[in-house]
């Protein structure tokens, strides 16, 4: 659990600085046809809010819930990542991450084996979903770093 908390804090600190990049930097992409830094930041926030919702549903459920996947490209288009204010999502990122860190401390070891069904990937555990936070965030930090090189 402590390793996960450390990773969550490290990825949070690494991510926060990217919200304050210049417009030129925010519009860079890590590869042709791929998302820009701005779009990646919005995606990180939206994915974390989805994961946070999933975790809360699993914790609160008495049975093995079915949790639905989301279409990240539809969110990008529908929520207009290109123009949505980053300052709003920066605040959401901070609040969500604080809540997740709290839930990790409260539930990771106690009920981490609690199961749910993901609509695309099948049987998963609460621990796996918690662990996904740090991995997912780091994956996109790497893409952002590539874009800014």
As a whole number, mean pLDDT of residues 23-39 equals 97
The pLDDT value recorded for residue 30 is 97
What range defines the domain where residue 54 resides?
2-148
Cα 77 from Cα 59, distance rounded (Å): 31
Number of domains in the chain: 1
As a whole number, mean pLDDT of residues 5-29 equals 98
Share of the chain above pLDDT 70, in %: 100
The pLDDT value recorded for residue 147 is 98
As a whole number, mean pLDDT of residues 100-122 equals 97
The pLDDT value recorded for residue 44 is 98
| Tens digits of residue pLDDT in 52-95 | 999 999 999 988 999 999 999 999 999 999 999 999 999 999 99
- Residue 110: name the closest of 132, 135, 130, 137 by CA: 130
Query: Contact at 8 Å (CB) between 77 and 111?
Result: no
CATH number at residue 27: 1.20.120.450
- Residue 42: name the closest of 21, 70, 72 by CA: 72
As a whole number, mean pLDDT of residues 15-37 equals 98
């Amino acid at each position: 659990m402590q390793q996960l908390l450390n990773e969550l804090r490290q990825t949070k600190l690494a991510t926060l600085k990217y919200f304050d990049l210049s417009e030129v930097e925010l519009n860079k992409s890590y590869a042709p046809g791929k998302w820009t830094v701005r779009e990646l930041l919005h995606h990180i926030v939206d994915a974390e809010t989805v994961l946070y919702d999933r975790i809360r549903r699993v914790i609160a459920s008495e049975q093995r819930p079915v949790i639905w996947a989301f279409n990240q490209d539809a969110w990008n288009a529908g929520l207009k990542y290109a123009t949505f204010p980053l300052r709003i999502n920066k605040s959401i990122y901070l609040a969500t991450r604080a809540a997740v860190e709290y839930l990790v401390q409260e539930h990771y070891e106690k009920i981490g084996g609690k199961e749910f069904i993901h609509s695309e990937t099948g049987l998963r555990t609460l621990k796996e979903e918690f662990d996904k936070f740090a991995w997912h965030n780091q994956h996109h930090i790497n893409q952002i770093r590539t874009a800014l090189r």
